[in-house]
């Protein structure tokens, strides 16, 4: 389906009717004029309206003045209009749109614009109109890129050549320097050129999946075969390891080894005495308890001995006091005069106690002494008992500690058993793994059948795809493209074909560049030197592709937008940017006005050859007096204060 640009629409603030930039169908369209009038914004406007959510239109006047951006497409005998509002505020993207189709679009006023669609719907609709089939790309193995379906987005690489791309020595296609874009171009170019037919993408994807499944099954089969081949030797080795680990203490015949391994696979560890709750731990706790009890007995014994010492001291003092009382009674013959000294019979200043009082004190003292003697006797008996009990307790401590030492030795033996269990458990695990692998090899008898079925599936898909050898088809297409490219390179008088007419130009689709095949060696675009050669490579490659797309009715829009292609023919970028679109000025400044003329001659010639199927839009600063150039002008040259992308009357 042939798709060309009918017009571009811009809606300003508070203005109902849009600014319309019309284009001629099947013709060369030129917009020329002064720098800063908005020419370079046309590619970003077209990209935005054709389903790109990212808003890359220049800031400043565009952002502050234009509310809606639109495009009208000519699709055979039908038209489609797409109008999108600028993102609100400082947002960088916006995906809603106004969409309509008709035989002839009546351009709506701004008040009639309603958001009734979105970018994804627009791309789906236009992809369907173009005839892009719903097929996923085929991704090479070991690539992280996910398969994707070719859409309208993937045709834009052939539609636009912005100022930075049109004469770039390394980048042939629009946005080729962006991440992943080169991969997308390579993965979809074969489809857009027709080397991959509509069903081939799906079949190739199925073949990739079937091949992966076949390889997986083949690997499983090889593993099973290897296990069968090594079964006997591995079984004997594992049995000997089990024997060394103490799991078995006998030999078996070779034919019985596998059966024995199946028994050993269920091996369980022997009992191992653990550290907590073991007899050793219990006995050690008992010894600690006995030592604590003996320590308590020793404390009680010390207290009893101290008591005896206190009692003996009290008894000595009481006996001495009793002797004194008895002597007083002796002198007074049992009678005591409290007022008279018993020795000299003189009167005492302080009277002495009476005889009855002294006798009472003596009786109490004697009773107390008797009680103390009884307490000492009982304390001595208690000391004897404590001494005997302490001796028994110390013997129990000795016995308990001896038992603990014996159990410690047993614990070491138990640890050795634990280590042996670890070794045996490791061997048992290897036996289980071996038996599992052997089981897969022996029991999965359907594996060979699965491999055979997968192989037949791969062979069948390969046979279906064998009728179309993509690389052979691409080689043929590259030759067709190369014939046109070489012819046009000669008309542009590119350096290498001028030096040797036997030079041939071709598209290197694997590296996304143009090659000049000289009789001596192939020279890629980036090594050809000079902006004139780089521009020429871009023009002959893009024009050859579009000619092929059109002739083969491939699903790519039939227009090409070139931004400032003649810039390479001026002494400096500043001199070129200073041009105001005046004829005399262009001829006076250009270093090679004839080369500029050859570029436009080529564009007019190719468009005429493909008329009315192909459209070229050129955004320029230059202006040639050639009548075809003048007839191709969309409007009078744009200049500050005059015509421009945005009317100066809209500016505040």
Q: In the chain, what is the straight-line distance between the N-terminal and C-terminal CA atoms, in Å?
A: 43
More confidently predicted of 370 and 609: 609
Residue-by-residue DSSP string for 603-630: HHHHHHHTTTS-EEEEEES-----HHHH
Which pLDDT band holds residue 145 (cuts at 50, 70, 90)? very low
531-551 and 593-609 are packed helices; what angle lies between their axes, rounded to 10 degrees? 10
pLDDT of the residue at 117 = 95
Res 39 pLDDT > 90: yes
- Cα-Cα-Cα-Cα dihedral of 391, 392, 398, 403, to 10°? 180
pLDDT digits (tens, 9 = 90+) for 295-343: 787 788 788 777 777 767 766 676 776 666 666 554 444 455 656 665 5
Query: Could you give the residue ranges of the DSSP H alpha helices within 34-140?
Result: 41-49, 61-65, 119-130
| Average pLDDT rounded to a whole number, residues 596-605 | 96
pLDDT of the residue at 8 = 97
pLDDT digits (tens, 9 = 90+) for 457-483: 888 877 766 645 778 889 999 999 999
How many residues would you count in the chain? 652
Domains and CATH numbers, the chain: 1-131+557-588+599-652 (3.40.50), 136-159+168-197+468-554 (no CATH), 279-442 (1.10.287)
Q: What angle do CA 509, 514, 515 make, to 5 degrees?
A: 105
When mean pLDDT is compared across 252-261, 499-508, 546-555, the lowest value belongs to: 252-261
The neighbouring-strand residues paired with 85 are: 68
Res 111 pLDDT > 80: yes
Distance CA(93)–CA(53), nearest Å, equals 5
pLDDT digits (tens, 9 = 90+) for 55-100: 888 776 677 789 999 999 999 999 999 999 999 888 889 999 999 9
Highest-pLDDT range among 225-234, 442-451, 501-510: 501-510
492 Cβ partners below 8 Å, 6+ apart?
Answer: 536, 539, 540, 595, 598, 599, 602
What is the Cα 114 distance to its own chain's centre?
40
> Would you say 212 and 570 are in contact if contact means Cβ atoms under 8 Å apart?
no
Percent of the chain with pLDDT over 90: 44
pLDDT digits (tens, 9 = 90+) for 215-236: 888 887 777 666 666 666 677 7
Distance CA(602)–CA(376), nearest Å, equals 140
DSSP secondary structure letter of residue 540: H
Q: Computed from CA positions of residues 107, 110, 116, 118, in that sequence, does the dihedral angle turn out positive or negative?
A: positive
Distance CA(650)–CA(47), nearest Å, equals 24
Q: Are strands 615-620 and 559-563 parallel, antiparallel or unpaired?
A: parallel
Residue-by-residue DSSP string for 419-478: HHHHHHHHHHHHHHHHHHHHHHHHH-TTHHHHHHHHHHHHHHHHHHHHTS-HHHHHHHHH
Residue 517's SS3 state is: strand
Distance CA(289)–CA(300), nearest Å, equals 17
Res 273 pLDDT > 50: no
pLDDT of the residue at 334 = 47
């Amino acid at each position: 389906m042939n798709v060309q640009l009918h017009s571009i629409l811009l809606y300003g603030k508070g203005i109902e009717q849009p600014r319309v930039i019309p284009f001629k169908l099947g013709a060369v369209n030129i917009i020329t004029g002064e720098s800063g009038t908005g020419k370079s914004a046309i590619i970003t406007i077209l990209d935005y309206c054709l389903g790109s959510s990212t808003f890359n239109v220049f800031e400043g006047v565009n952002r502050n003045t234009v509310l809606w951006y639109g495009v009208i497409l000519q699709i055979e005998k039908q038209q489609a209009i797409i109008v999108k509002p600028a993102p609100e505020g400082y947002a960088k993207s916006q995906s809603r749109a106004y969409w309509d189709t008709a035989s002839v679009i009546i351009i709506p006023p701004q008040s009639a614009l309603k958001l009734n669609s979105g970018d994804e719907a627009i791309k789906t609709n236009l992809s369907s109109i173009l005839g892009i089939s719903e097929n996923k790309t085929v991704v090479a193995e070991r690539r992280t890129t996910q398969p994707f379906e070719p859409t309208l987005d993937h045709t834009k690489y052939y539609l636009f050549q912005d100022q930075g791309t049109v004469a770039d020595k390394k980048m042939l296609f629009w946005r080729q320097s962006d991440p992943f874009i080169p991969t997308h171009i390579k993965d979809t170019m074969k489809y857009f050129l027709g080397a991959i037919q509509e069903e081939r993408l799906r079949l190739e994807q199925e073949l990739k999946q079937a091949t992966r499944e076949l390889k997986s099954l083949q690997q499983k089969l090889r593993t099973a075969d290897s296990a069968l081949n090594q079964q006997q030797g591995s079984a004997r080795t594992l049995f000997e390891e089990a024997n060394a680990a103490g799991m078995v203490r006998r030999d078996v015949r070779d034919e019985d080894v596998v059966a024995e391994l199946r028994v050993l696979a269920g091996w369980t560890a022997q009992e191992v005495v653990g550290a907590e709750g073991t007899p050793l731990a219990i006995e050690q706790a008992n010894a600690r308890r006995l030592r604590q009890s003996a320590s308590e007995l020793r404390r009680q014994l010390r207290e009893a001995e101290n008591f005896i010492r206190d009692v003996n001291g009290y008894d000595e003092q009481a006996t001495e006091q009793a002797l004194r009382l008895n002597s007083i009674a002796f002198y007074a013959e049992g009678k005591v005069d409290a007022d008279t000294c018993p020795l000299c019979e003189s009167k005492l200043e302080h009277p002495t106690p009476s005889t009855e009082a002294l006798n009472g004190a003596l009786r109490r003292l004697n009773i107390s002494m008797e009680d103390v003697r009884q307490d000492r006797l009982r304390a001595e008996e208690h000391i004897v008992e404590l001494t005997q009990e302490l001796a028994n307790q110390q013997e129990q401590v000795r016995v308990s500690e001896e038992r603990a030492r014996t159990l410690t030795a047993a614990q070491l033996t138990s640890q050795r058993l634990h280590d042996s269990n670890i070794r045996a458990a490791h061997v048992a695990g290897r036996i289980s793994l071996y038996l599992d692998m052997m089981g897969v090899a022996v029991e999965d008898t359907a594996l060979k059948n699965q491999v055979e079925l997968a192989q037949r599936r791969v062979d069948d898909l390969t046979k279906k795809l064998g009728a179309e050898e993509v690389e052979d088809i691409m080689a043929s297409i590259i030759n067709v493209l190369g014939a046109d490219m070489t012819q046009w390179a000669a008309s542009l008088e590119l350096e290498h074909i001028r030096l040797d007419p036997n030079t041939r130009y071709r598209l290197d689709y694997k590296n996304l560049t143009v090659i000049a095949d000289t009789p001596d060696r192939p020279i890629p675009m980036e090594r050809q030197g000079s902006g004139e050669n780089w521009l020429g490579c871009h023009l002959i490659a893009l024009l050859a592709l579009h000619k092929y797309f059109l002739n083969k009715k491939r699903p790519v829009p039939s227009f090409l937008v070139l931004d400032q292609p003649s810039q390479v023919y001026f002494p400096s970028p500043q001199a070129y940017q200073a041009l105001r679109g005046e004829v005399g000025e262009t001829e006076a400044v250009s270093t090679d006005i004839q080369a500029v003329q050859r570029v436009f001659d080529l564009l007019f010639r190719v468009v005429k050859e493909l008329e009315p199927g192909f459209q070229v839009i050129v955004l320029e600063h230059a202006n040639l007096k050639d009548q075809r150039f003048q007839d191709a002008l969309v409007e009078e040259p744009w200049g500050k204060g005059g015509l421009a992308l945005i009317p100066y009357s809209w500016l505040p």
